[in-house]
Structure 1
Amino acid sequence: MEREIKMKRLRYLLIVSGIVLWTACGKLDLNPLSDGSSETWNSTADEIEMSLNGFYKHVFWPEDNDEWTDDWIYRDATTPITGATLNGETGFVKDRWTNAYKCIARANNVVQSVERAADVLSEEEIERYAAEARFVRAAQYAYLLSHYGNIVYSDKMLDIDEALELGQSEPAFVLEKIYEDFDYAAEHLKAEFGSGELKRATKGAAYALKARIAAYMGDWITARDAAKDCIDLGVYTLHPNFAELFLSKTKNSPEVVFGFPRSIELKVTKGDAQNYVTRNAGGWAAKDPSWDLFCAFLCTDGKPIDESDVFNPREPFANRDPRCAATIVPFGAEHLGYIYEPHPDTLKVRQVSTGQLVENRDTRSVAEYASFNGLVWKKGIDGDWLLNSWQTEPDKIVIRFADVLLLYAEAKIELNEIDESVINAINQVRARAYGVDPATTDAYPAVTLADQASLRQQVRIERRMEFALEGIRYMDLIRWQLAEKALNKPNYGLLDPADLRAKVTSKDLWFFPETPEIDEDGVADFSALAGAGLIKQLAVRKFDATRQYLWPIPSTEVLTSGLTQNPNY
């Protein structure tokens, strides 16, 4: 019986000799089909291509949810991470483990079986196919290592007896194996694809994801070198317009180092659109940016809101980094066909297409479940979100060039190798937000040479402004060991309408009654406003630092396979 239970685990963890499970598809990533295959599979280029296409199912490339961070509010709800209830039975803990090992098993099979095509393919072609499989394997192990820590590693197809002997590997060993795969991929993959070719993994993608996992593991030398290798390819550039980069109409941006398409026609879509869309436009406005994120955007003088002379809490969108208004809808701005205004006294707003005033369902004075803190997302949300039964098709971006630039700068800062290349990398990203050339340093608040601590703060704030709603903030909090600070604070929002009128708007204190303090890590302190009764506590976030910096090993793996659970779960 015990052996039978362990074999069930292996269905997802390893390929058992003689059985190959593949997804086959004529086009990359879009709507792949699942088919069985024989021991002779991967004997031709077509078969290998179909095997490789199966690696690009979206389920194998999950984003970390922004709702696990301090950038997020979902009314008065918390998550297993922000409520400190994470355990080995949590759905995403089990699903992401299972899917990663399923993908790894398929990659192992390609690496070991690709030689079957030696009679029909050149050595260079075989190496390229193996490199793509090894790239995917490295990426999957990188996700497992950074999230679970103590994982099982295998780079081979094993028979049942061999597989049952596997235990957890030392994280340092796994990291070296990840580096080996990324290095092999970078050596043998193409630098870029032609206009008529399917776009899959490239040299740059291998360098970029190697830099990311190195940074996550605190290996700054490797992170620096891998990021620089990606930059030096000269293949990638920042998209000219920050706001347009995330729209469905923007396809194959030169900023995307690794990603793949979505398609409404083929039912490969982003989904969950209504939670992000304003109520006037037919959405629910339930999942919204937090005040913590809103306050993190610097002002146009490059200073945080509590230090800047140009910040006005009554007009909190004025004089802010342009990414603020590109990420969060400004009050009084046109958005999805209506003027957005959450003020409790604005009971009607203008519908842009007709010019007529209509009931304002984006204020809680009219609609009880309008945004609880007055903020709604702007980033990537366009009119096409209202179409096609709320299905949208923006490109899925796994890593982009702005991340590579900032990883390079961060690695150099952590190594205390501070030079002009660090400043140039950060300023490229910041200048793009302002729509100016980085060299025109009088046109934006350019970063200048400073000490290590100051630049560490600058690059961390830059990452938060740049990557909001992209699944980046969670692992930044984890690797910087800031989660215990940022996620042990309440989530605040607006008072209920009657109290809001009595205590805030009637006294001309809208929007922020006073400017919250921002600490050296960019974390806002709203306690003074809460203590004065001017804002409302919506939810209490909790993060258990004794265990949550790693996820638990799924309970089924611990109970049936003898794996050691991570501490304090």
Structure 2
Amino acid sequence: MKKLPIYLIAALAVTTSCNKDFLNRYPETAITPEVFFKTQEDLALYMNGMVSQPGTGAYFSDQNTDNCATTAAVEMKNIMTGTPTATNITGGWDWGRLRNLNYFLENYERAATTQEIKDHHAGLAKYYRAIFYFEKVKRYSDVPWYSKPLDPSDAEQLNKARDPRALIVDSVMNDLAFAAAHVKDRSSNTPAVPTNTPDKWSVMMMYARIALHEGTYRKYHPELSLGGSANSFLEKARDISLEIMNSGEFQIYNTGKPEADYGLLFNSQDLNSNKEVILATAYDQTKQMGSSNNGTIFGDYEGSPARSLVNEYLMKNGTRFTDQPGAMQMPFTQEFQNRDARLMHTVAYPGWKFVADAAPYIQKLNKKFSGYHQLKGYYNTTDNILLNSVDFPVYRYAEALLAYAESLAELGTLTQADLDKSVNLLRARAGVAPMNLAAANANPDFLLSTSYPLVSGAMEGAILEIRRERRVEFALEGYRFDDLMRWAAGQLLVKIPQGMYFPGLGKYDMTGDGHEDIILIDKTATIPPDATKEKNALGVRLVYYKAGTINDDVTVYLSNGTNGYMVTETGTRTFIEPKYYYRPVPQSQVLLNPNLKQIFGW
């Protein structure tokens, strides 16, 4: 998480000693309200110090989902394969940031400035508090609500029980309503909103996101007994998304070049000038604000895209790839032909080249890997300064469009006109034929129906296609896990992700030029020294891999040993419903406060 925008480094360096380090400690130990909360500048300094938004680390977040194969010790996989308890699941129960936000909200009115300016900064604090509690609700559902800083001597508040989810979410929505009404947009001068920090439209996008999340969560999670209020949240998501759309402030970045447009959102040095980007996290290696992640995105170690993700991208003509003959066993060199252009901006394709190489890249395989390489978020350059200075899009206009379409589909009121001003703008950018509402509902995708068995009714096909659209539009950006949780689709995580398909041992072309590049040999064979390795027709030595099953002494794991899909693990995964949609309160906290009762079987 990026904590401070670039421009604040110098500002904090010249602040007086009584102010400059207060953000790193409990506020009252470093400042007092009488000393600090005096001016507009004090309010701005405090709230700028609270900036905390996603960065390029989000490109690795999908390792917790069916979008990726991974050998990393990610939480969800550990839960499904281990013996999770409140003793060994301990992360997430942290409250320091809330204390700082509540301290501000208790004291901001002291500043000698206009009410408009005070309300702007209070709106930012409530926006951050809403996000804080949204994360807690996603993890625990019921949590204690605190609207003021805790007094260490207040035993009643320190030993408070969990408040119900409905109360927490209503409080979150109230915070966001205030923020939406009072936070200024980027063009405002009263006060000026610094670049790369949230403004009104950032608030609105988060408002729509939380409304959609809660509406669908309540609809698909009967254990909450809140289904009767689901539509009110879906209506709020619809209305807020439409307000963003009608503002005229944003548009999908589309210059008519499907081979380039989508990818520029993820390898740009400056996203602030891109009309699709509502908020960006900026990086600049020359100012010691570089990202250390971009150099490792294109790798072959712990995480790699899964074949199920690759399969979900449509053909250019709008038909399903999975309806193509032999799709499930299609070789790598054919998978990318005539596909949605977003696939080629997300996963390295046959013929892709490193910028410094004359020849196409040959997929590097290993037994911890699916075979597919992630391109999204990777900047293809040999300049390390540029590599680590790529901005990250925190909120994109595409999210407003898809929130609008999904909320309408879930409400059962989606029309073709709605699709044409939302989903079909994204498909047009990707060079894909538009979605037809009648056709989608008349013939729902069987595979998607199997993946999401809770979806039914007249809008089933539309809902499924919009879920496809979300998966491919936001692939590897950190959206997938929350989507699966709110749709009650945890069973998709039980399937062990697979990778490339190989029909058997032998030679394979990996670049699409018609010449073999690699050879898979049996686990009992020996990889020869370079001098005796076979060469292809171009005189290039083949890359040798020993294939076998997991635990064999080989370099590539195939699901059937000598053929099948690349796999990185075996074993059994179990997703217990509804328990695993939530996390337990850490046992250490329950011992401190026995009123924190476990719920949902924990």
1:217 partner SS: helix
Structure 2 match to 1:203: 200
Q: Does residue 448 in structure 1 map to residue 481 in structure 2?
A: no
Deviation string 1:161-211 (CA, Å, 9 cap, x unpaired) is 153142211101111111111111111111333698513322222221111
Structure 2 match to 1:224: 238
Per-residue deviation, 1:503? 10
1:463-542 map, 5 Å: 463-484=470-491, 486-493=492-499, 500-501=505-506, 533-540=563-570, 542=573
Per-residue deviation, 1:462? 0.5
TM-score normalized by structure 1? 0.76
Structure 2 match to 1:329: 348
Per-residue deviation, 1:255? 1.8
Task: In structure 2, list runs of 5 or more residues that go unmatched.
Answer: 13-19, 23-29, 216-232, 255-260, 442-458, 519-557
Q: Does residue 159 in structure 1 map to residue 151 in structure 2?
A: yes
Structure 2 match to 1:551: 583
Per-residue deviation, 1:305? 1.6
Structure 2 match to 1:272: 293
1: CA distance between counterparts of 2:6 and 2:277? 23
- Contact preservation (8 Å) 2:498, 2:566: yes
Structure 1 match to 2:543: none
1:539 partner SS: coil
1:548 partner SS: helix
Per-residue deviation, 1:532? 8.9
Amino acid at match of 2:7: K
Distance of aligned partners of 1:476 and 1:250 in 2 relative to their CA distance in 1, 3 Å threshold: same
Q: Does residue 73 in structure 1 map to residue 69 in structure 2?
A: yes
Amino acid at match of 2:251: T
2: CA distance between counterparts of 1:226 and 1:61? 27
User: Aligned-pair RMSD on alpha carbons?
Assistant: 3.6
- Contact preservation (8 Å) 1:238, 1:401: yes
Amino acid at match of 2:33: E
Deviation string 1:452-484 (CA, Å, 9 cap, x unpaired) is 111101100001110011000111111111121
2:323 partner SS: coil
2: CA distance between counterparts of 1:31 and 1:391? 26
Distance of aligned partners of 1:140 and 1:474 in 2 relative to their CA distance in 1, 3 Å threshold: same
1:35-184 map, 5 Å: 35=22, 36-40=30-34, 41-58=36-53, 63=58, 65-74=61-70, 76-77=71-72, 79-83=74-78, 84=80, 85=82, 87-88=85-86, 94=91, 96-98=92-94, 101-117=95-111, 120-160=112-152, 161=154, 162-184=156-178
1:319-398 map, 5 Å: 319-338=338-357, 349=359, 362-364=363-365, 368=366, 372-384=369-381, 387-388=384-385, 392-398=388-394
2: CA distance between counterparts of 1:158 and 1:190? 30
**Could you tell me which of 182, 185, 194 is aligned with 1:188?**
182
Amino acid at match of 1:167: A
- Contact preservation (8 Å) 1:146, 1:213: no
**Could you tell me which of 266, 284, 295 is aligned with 1:263?**
284
- Contact preservation (8 Å) 1:277, 1:285: no
Q: Does residue 244 in structure 1 map to residue 264 in structure 2?
A: yes
Deviation string 1:129-161 (CA, Å, 9 cap, x unpaired) is 111111111121112112221212111123221
Distance of aligned partners of 1:176 and 1:317 in 2 relative to their CA distance in 1, 3 Å threshold: same
1: CA distance between counterparts of 2:305 and 2:140? 27
Structure 2 match to 1:34: 21
Structure 2 match to 1:565: 598
Q: Does residue 461 in structure 1 map to residue 468 in structure 2?
A: yes
- Contact preservation (8 Å) 2:409, 2:463: yes
Distance of aligned partners of 1:271 and 1:555 in 2 relative to their CA distance in 1, 3 Å threshold: farther
1:168 partner SS: coil
- Contact preservation (8 Å) 2:99, 2:150: no
Deviation string 1:358-379 (CA, Å, 9 cap, x unpaired) is xx6x434xxx56x733210111
2: CA distance between counterparts of 1:122 and 1:245? 38
Distance of aligned partners of 1:305 and 1:492 in 2 relative to their CA distance in 1, 3 Å threshold: same
1: CA distance between counterparts of 2:202 and 2:373? 32
Distance of aligned partners of 1:270 and 1:542 in 2 relative to their CA distance in 1, 3 Å threshold: farther
2:583 partner SS: coil
Amino acid at match of 1:545: I
Number of aligned residue pairs: 485
- Contact preservation (8 Å) 2:342, 2:430: yes
TM-score normalized by structure 2? 0.72
